[in-house]
């Protein structure tokens, strides 16, 4: 049976030694003392390991079941959902006036990683609710906020996002779902939406669907899309539940993974809906939540990599197979544990250095969001907007690869469902697809974000790297050689790629777009390189300060050195691909493929 | 519904324009005229597309079922198996005296790719039988050959390979299954074997298990392992089936994929077995089939990549989403097809250039096996022995990655089982694990094969690359620049890596082993680079000769240029990892992970 231990020590190191939360000057951060965050993380870790993780294989094996319009979640989900609600976890970073605890997003993100590691499919019910509530919070009228938020913050009612239709996913301008204005100010929503996560289930009294649709007579294409609140049960003026709305789950999909989450085809047959935000500004309303939602998906990539790594590590220490070629390590046993073998080490170090680097990256991203939202810091807002497609695309691709590496450590046992490793890969796979497929993230990065505000955000990023290097070099030769030099080299590669796009994308935008995926990955490596340099620096400082747990900080430095030596040099390959241009990519006529 | 079209034209190009079969001077090759191989491939393509491919999702959905010791294969498998047998496919490359058609292995391999693309789980029943029959052919007594081969060549009886036990896979020296000598010369086999593909099923009258076991009182460890024939039904002297042997299927495993193949736990409870080959030489007997078996698994990597690519391509041409940024391509439609987008192109070109390069690599490998076996060419034998771990490890890793890329083209639909793309990835995943996990392939390559016979085979490989470059350069500037230069560079990287191992592996073998996986991948890239250079050359020649289908050959050259520009440069990254040595890989104490 796979198990999960929350990486609390590592989170605390990042929050306090690397990001220095309490000194960050962000409203609400001053309260985040080490003991305080420690207590929250301990509690979250406990419910993750003890309640959510044991249900993970149950959800995978049982899946959801649609019977007469009712979707039944797997055994135990309902009770666990109640426990999560009782713990107040869904409202952790929601405003107090709606029943939340008003904690910074960075704390919600750390807790979210644990929940997702332990049970991604389960956590999605809560995650989608959080997303929908955030949209209402940002765009709803006071009346809408008062009607829906208290229930949604508590997860008494859950939420969904309805974007995709059978013929359109990325290209939402093709949308056909219609909204007809009614005399009372409401709309009648008609159409079919697919891939609706948590679309119908048995864990909440009401489900609040946020639905993109076109108001009849409005502009063509994407400019005519508006966002609507469409509750499963219409809410009466007194807050009680009224009539069942004209919407239903037509089918639940058979998927590769996240079986515990109900992925629904939702049919809206003249359902009553309420405009959320402005007419025809539905996409803008969706986009305001995009950074958070995409960071959340990037976090899922890390979360699955983390639990897969934990179990691969345990297996590598336990399973006896072959002997260390440099000398027997387990003379009393019939063989040495797998972990003595260099190629198993390589795999484990890849996983470990990714997970810890990714965690720092995500938590840093979360502080940027806090800085933007709580501190009204537009520079932070611009920077996180630039980094969002990198967090989403790079971390889910790499996170998935790491689950595959973890599965591989198990040999044949990794392929057998009973051992649990297959589920991590199958669950992780969706994160590369939903919330904008990773190719679309690369397009967003290179086609929009790079040039946004005159390229100011990417300049700010490079400045940040440069300043870090300048401030920290010349103090320790090994650190300069093992951390700063590789970071400088990788950052230079990234700049060269940006330069190539500028010089060649003008005459042919395909020269930029054909390199977009490589650019996203090289950007990700530079970010993780920066994180590792920061973590290495913080670990050195802790050792200098005489930290009691020297092994922890030494391990941190050794893991960082691995990343710098073995992973970061990938930037050169990505650069060479980018600089080969679009010619070879676009050479063939479609008919000649 | 996914579909499959056999890549006959591409196979013919490789067999005749690149490998020049009929002029290869290998016994049996003179018969392989273009028309003749074309006819075989057409027939094999037909049964693949029409009979095997439609059963692929059926096998995935239904899986196998164990009831009262009987394993039921999925609906339709039995009838299809009869059709395959009637077509004489299982004995294609088996000796005529046992009912085979005695064709070269290269033809069996081309057909094998089609069958595996169409239905990997189904084809394994036949593939395992082929492997077991080959072992009996190589090591059996005349009596054993006469008893088992006619039935196995026809697939009236199928075969299995029993190596793994619950506590040992790679390290077979730990094996516990026992063989007690009996007065009549037979042995009583007792023990449990796991992961036995096709271990029990309802498609054959008898199942011939080849079982590794230790003869009681023999040497310890791997040196005491012998190979036994253990039939499900003991065969009487007159060839009729006698009593049921004391063996049974205890369980079939729930796996991530290849659901249509029964993966069995096999219990041997004093079953009657017959020594195959010499006492205590079981591993050697297994190893003689290893090259073929591993090439076959490498081929599965290609096969799944090919069918996944075909379907991704069809979807990319069909699905309308977004517009070409360089100008609308489908003005009458609501959007342009996916294939206009550079990042989709990148993905498709990755897949296409891999599949065609891998096909050439495997078919070339098969000619080396033919050269070794039919022509008693020891140099070819040494070379294919060197290349075998590369074929197995590199092609299954890359093949798997390509199925993931193909699935990604489908967006959300790729994650829904109904569309079939998930199955390709789940089925392809096993090929990285079985027949020696890919880490073990890398170990075999760097730890054994590189230095074999004084390093003569790797020298021969480099000579081959060098000679090709020398013989072909200076005739066409574009070819020199786009094909030969990148190949020279990549080959030099590979040589540098080998040099690094020689210089640093002596003082610490971990310096070689920590780079083994990267070495296997860079070797694979150089092989595919060589294949693409050869294919590019052959395509240029065909165009010069005024070939009628110019577009086919021009496409071949363009695809090769893509591989050389975008994939081959990966060798530099692998080299930099290798040259970073073992220090960062081995730095941590196991306890500090």
Q: In CATH, what number is assigned to the domain containing residue A108?
A: 1.10.540.10
Within 13 Å and on the Cβ side, how many CA atoms surround B277?
23
Instruction: Residue A590: list chain B partners with CB under 8 A.
Output: 317, 337, 339-340
Q: Do A437 and B513 touch (CB under 8 A)?
A: no
Task: Tell me how far apart the alpha carbons of residues A381 and A452 are, in angstroms, rounded to a whole number.
Answer: 12
Q: Give the mean pLDDT of B235-263.
A: 97
B24 in the same domain as B132: yes
Name every chain A residue with its beta carbon within 8 A of the beta carbon of B313: 593
**Is residue A482 predicted with pLDDT exceeding 80?**
yes
Contact of B1 with chain A, judged by CB distance below 8 Å, is answered with no
CA distance A491 to B5: 45
Q: Show which of B237, B258, B281 is a domain's final residue.
A: B281
* Predicted pLDDT at A391: 98
Provide the strand spans (E) within B174-246.
178-181, 187-197, 206-215, 225-231, 233-235, 241-244
Is the pLDDT assigned to residue A287 strictly greater than 90?
A: no
The yes-or-no verdict on residue B289 having pLDDT over 80 is no
Same-domain check for residues B529 and B496: yes
Instruction: Give yes or no: residues A478 and A517 share one domain.
Output: yes
Q: Which of A344, A394, A339, A337 lies closest to A365 in space, CA to CA?
A: A394
Q: Residue B206 — φ and ψ, nearest 5°?
A: -145, 155
Examine residue B345 and state whether it is found in any structural domain, yes or no.
Answer: no
The rounded percent of chain B whose pLDDT value lies above 70 is 100
Best mutation target, B264, B582, B584, to test chain A (most A CBs within 10 A): B584
**Would you please indicate which residues of B are annotated as catalytic (active-site) residues?**
435
Q: Cβ B573–A577 below 8 Å, yes or no?
A: no
Q: What is the mean pLDDT of residues B501-510?
A: 94
Pair type for strands B263-275 and B247-252:
antiparallel
User: Using N-to-C axis directions, what is the helix angle for B342-374 and B550-562, rounded to 10°?
Assistant: 100
Would the CB atoms of A516 and B352 count as touching at under 8 Å? Answer: no
Q: Which residue has the higher pLDDT, B286 or B265?
A: B265
| pLDDT tens string B147-193 | 999 999 999 999 999 999 999 988 999 999 999 999 999 999 999 99
pLDDT at A463 over 90: yes
Domain termination site, one of B231, B256, B281: B281
pLDDT at B50 over 90: yes
- Which 257-296 residues of chain A touch chain B by CB within 8 A? 257
CB-based contact, B451 to chain A, within 8 Å? no
SS3 content of chain B, % helix, strand, coil (to 5): 60, 15, 25
| C-beta of residue A177 within 8 angstroms of C-beta of residue A193 | yes
The full DSSP string for B278-322 is STT-HHHHHHHHHHHHHHHHHHHHHHHHHHHHHHHHHHHHH-B-S
pLDDT score, position A284: 87
Instruction: Calculate what percentage of chain A has a pLDDT beyond 70.
Output: 100
In this predicted structure, what is the pLDDT of residue B290?
79
B351 CA: distance to closest CA in chain A (Å):
11
Query: Which of A281, A303, A336 lies at the terminal end of a domain, its last residue?
Result: A281
B residues 175..204 contacting A (CB < 8 A): 194-195
Confidence of residue A2 (pLDDT cuts 50, 70, 90): confident
Distance CA(A172)–CA(A195), nearest Å, equals 14
- Residue window 497-536, chain A: list those with CB within 8 Å of chain B: 508-510, 513-514, 516-517
Which residues in chain A touch residue B414, judged by CB atoms under 8 angstroms apart? Answer: 433
Residues B199 and B227 in one domain: yes
- Measured between beta carbons, the chain B residues lying within 8 angstroms of A407 are 429
Q: Is residue B308 part of a domain?
A: no
Least CB–CB distance from A322: residue in B170, B256, B565: B170
A459 and A561 within one domain:
yes
- How many CA atoms lie less than 13 Å away from B293 in the CB half-sphere? 21
> Does the residue B61 lie in any domain?
yes
Domain assignment present for residue B249? The answer is yes
For residue B83, what pLDDT is reported? 98
Read off the pLDDT of each residue in A167-172 and give the average, rounded to a whole number. Answer: 91
Q: Indicate whether B128 and B244 sit together in one domain.
A: no
Averaged pLDDT for residues A525-539: 98
Cβ distance B326 to A508 less than 8 Å, yes or no, reads: yes
Count of residues in chain B: 593
- B38: tokens are 């074309």
Evaluate if residue B555 carries a pLDDT over 90: yes
**What are the φ and ψ backbone dihedral angles of A341, each rounded to 5 degrees?**
-80, 130
Domain count, chain A: 3
- The CA distance from B145 to the nearest CA of chain A, in Å, is 31
Compare all CA atoms of chain A with the CA of B348 and give the residue at the minimum distance.
A593
Same-domain status, B266 and B234 = yes
| A353 reaches B (C-beta below 8 A) | no
* HEC string for A97-143: HHCCCCCCHHHHHHHHHHHHHHCHHHHHHHHHHHHHHHHHHHHCCHH
pLDDT, residue A289, reads 77
The tokens of A250 are what?
A: 């037509």
Which has the higher per-residue pLDDT, A460 or A506?
A460
**Six-digit token string for A450:** 């790079």
Average pLDDT (B126-132) is: 96
B101 and B62 share a domain?
A: yes
Task: For residues A341 and B514, give the distance between their C-alpha atoms in angstroms, rounded to a whole number.
Answer: 9
CATH number, domain containing residue A235: 2.40.110.20
Residue A345 lies in a domain: no
Distance from CA of B119 to the nearest CA of A (A): 18
Q: List, in order, residues 6 or more apart from B458 with CB less than 8 Å away.
A: B386, B449, B450, B498
Residues A583 and A471 placed together within one structural domain of the fold:
yes
Are B345 and A514 an interchain contact pair (Cβ–Cβ within 8 Å)? yes
Q: Nearest residue of A to residue B344 by CA position?
A: A439
- Are A558 and B509 an interchain contact pair (Cβ–Cβ within 8 Å)? no
Average of pLDDT values for B464-478?
97
**Is B243 exposed, middle or buried, given 0-12, 13-18 or 19+ CB atoms closer than 10 A?**
exposed
What is the DSSP annotation of B518-550? HHHHHHHHHHHHHHHHHHHHHHHHHHHTT-S-H
| Mean pLDDT score of chain A | 97
- Say if A555 is an interface residue toward chain B (CB within 8 Å): yes
Burial code of B164-173, b = ≥16 C-beta within 10 A, e = fewer?
bbebbbbbbb
pLDDT above 80 (res B556):
yes
- Which helix (H) or strand (E) segment holds residue A428: the answer is helix A421-429
- CA B55, CA B74: separation in Å to the nearest integer? 9
The verdict on residue B558 lying in a domain is yes
Residue B533 falls inside a structural domain: yes
Q: What is the pLDDT of residue B543?
A: 97
Residue of A nearest to B416 (CA): A255
Whether B559 has its CB under 8 Å from any CB of chain A: the answer is: yes
CB contact under 8 A, A592 and B551: yes
Q: Which residue of A has its CA nearest to B516?
A: A343
Among all chains, which residue has been given the structure tokens 């995935």? B60
pLDDT in tens, A297-354: 999 999 999 999 999 999 999 999 999 999 999 999 999 999 999 999 999 999 999 9
Q: How confident is the model at residue B130 (pLDDT cuts 50, 70, 90)?
A: very high
Instruction: Please identify which of the residues A23, A418, A435, A485 carries the catalytic annotation.
Output: A435
Give the orientation angle of helix A342-375 with respect to helix B516-544, to 10 degrees. Answer: 90
The DSSP string of A185-244 is S-EEEEEEEEEEET-S-SS-SEEEEEEEEEETTS-SGGGGEEEEEEESEEEPTTS-EEEE
| A515/A566 same-domain check | yes
Tell me A251's DSSP state. Answer: E
- pLDDT given for residue B1 in this prediction: 78
Task: Tell me the pLDDT tens digit for each residue of A70-90.
Answer: 999 999 999 999 999 999 999
User: Nearest to residue A489, comparing CAs of A455, A538, A522?
Assistant: A522
Residue B194: what are its φ and ψ, rounded to 5°?
Answer: -125, 170
Residues of chain B with C-beta less than 8 angstroms from the C-beta of A436: none
Alpha carbon distance A143, B344 (integer Å): 45
Residue A181: pLDDT over 90: yes
Quick check: ipTM above 0.95? yes
CA distances in angstroms from B561 to A582, B347, B569, listed in the order given: 12, 15, 12
**B211 and B271 co-located in one domain:** yes
**Backbone torsions φ then ψ of A263, nearest 5 degrees:** -100, 110
Using the Cβ of A52 and the Cβ atoms of chain B, whether some distance falls under 8 Å is answered with no
A548 touches chain B (CB under 8 A): no
Whether A333 is covered by a domain: the verdict is no
pLDDT band at B432 (very low <50, low <70, confident <90, very high): very high
Chain B residues with CB under 8 Å of A416 CB are 253-256
Taking the Cβ of residue A166 and every Cβ of chain B, the question of whether any pair is shorter than 8 Å is answered with: no
> Containing domain of residue A210, as a range?
157-281
Q: Are the beta carbons of A254 and B593 separated by less than 8 Å?
A: no
Span B336-360, mean pLDDT? 98
Which string of DSSP letters, residue by residue, matches A258-290?
Answer: -TTS-EEEEEEEEEEEEE-SSTT-HHHHHHHHH
Q: Are residues A131 and A191 in the same domain?
A: no
């Amino acid at each position: 049976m796979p198990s999960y231990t929350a990486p609390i020590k590592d989170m605390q190191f990042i929050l306090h030694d690397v990001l220095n939360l309490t000194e960050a000057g962000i409203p609400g951060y001053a309260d985040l003392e080490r003991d305080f965050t420690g207590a929250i993380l301990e509690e979250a870790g406990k419910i993750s390991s003890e309640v959510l993780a044991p249900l993970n294989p149950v959800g995978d094996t049982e899946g959801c079941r649609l019977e007469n319009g009712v979707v039944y979640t797997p055994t135990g989900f309902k009770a666990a959902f109640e426990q999560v609600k009782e713990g107040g976890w869904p409202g952790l970073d929601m405003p107090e006036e709606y029943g939340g605890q008003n904690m910074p997003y960075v704390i919600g993100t750390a807790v979210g990683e644990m929940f997702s590691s332990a049970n991604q499919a389960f956590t999605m019910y809560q995650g989608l609710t959080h997303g929908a509530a955030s949209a209402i919070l940002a765009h709803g009228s006071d009346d809408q906020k008062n009607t829906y938020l208290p229930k949604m913050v508590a997860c008494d009612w859950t939420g969904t996002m309805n974007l995709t239709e059978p013929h359109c996913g990325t290209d939402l301008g093709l949308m056909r779902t219609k909204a007809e204005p009614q005399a009372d100010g409401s709309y009648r929503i008609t159409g079919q939406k697919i891939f609706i996560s948590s679309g119908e289930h048995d864990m909440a009294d009401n489900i609040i669907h946020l639905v993109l649709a076109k108001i009849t007579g409005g502009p063509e294409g994407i400019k005519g899309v508006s966002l609507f609140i469409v509750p499963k049960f219409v809410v009466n003026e007194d807050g009680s539940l009224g009539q069942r709305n004209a919407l239903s789950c037509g089918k639940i999909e058979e998927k590769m993974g996240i079986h515990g989450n109900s992925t629904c085809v939702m049919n809206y047959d003249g359902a009553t809906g309420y405009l959320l935000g402005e007419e025809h500004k539905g996409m803008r309303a969706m986009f305001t939540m995009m950074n958070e939602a995409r960071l959340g998906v990037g976090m899922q990539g890390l979360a699955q990599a983390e639990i897969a790594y934990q179990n691969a590590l345990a297996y590598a220490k336990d399973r006896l197979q072959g002997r260390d070629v440099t000398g027997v390590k387990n003379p009393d046993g019939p063989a040495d544990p797998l972990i003595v073998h260099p190629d198993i080490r390589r795999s484990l170090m890849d996983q470990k250095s990714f997970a810890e680097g990714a965690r720092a990256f995500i938590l840093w991203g979360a502080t940027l969001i806090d800085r933007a939202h709580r501190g009204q810091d537009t520079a932070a807002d611009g920077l996180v907007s630039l980094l969002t497609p990198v967090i989403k695309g790079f971390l889910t691709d790499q996170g998935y690869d790491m689950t595959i590496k973890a599965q591989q450590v198990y040999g044949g046992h990794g392929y057998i469902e009973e051992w649990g490793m297959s589920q991590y890969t199958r669950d992780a796979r969706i994160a590369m697809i939903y919330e904008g497929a990773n190719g679309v993230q690369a397009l967003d990065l290179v086609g929009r974000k790079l040039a946004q505000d005159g390229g100011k955000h990417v300049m700010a990023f490079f400045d940040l790297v440069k300043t870090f290097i300048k401030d920290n070099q010349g103090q320790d030769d090994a650190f300069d050689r093992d951390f700063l030099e590789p970071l400088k080299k990788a950052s230079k590669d990234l700049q060269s790629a940006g330069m190539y796009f500028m010089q060649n994308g003008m005459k042919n935008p395909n020269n930029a777009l054909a390199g977009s995926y490589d650019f996203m990955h090289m950007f990700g490596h530079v970010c993780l390189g920066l994180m590792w340099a920061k973590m290495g620096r913080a670990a050195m400082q802790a050792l200098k300060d005489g930290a009691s747990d020297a092994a922890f900080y030494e391990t941190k430095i050794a893991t960082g050195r691995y990343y710098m030596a073995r992973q970061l040099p990938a930037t050169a390959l990505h650069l060479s691909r980018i600089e080969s241009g679009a010619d070879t990519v676009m050479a063939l006529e479609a008919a000649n493929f």
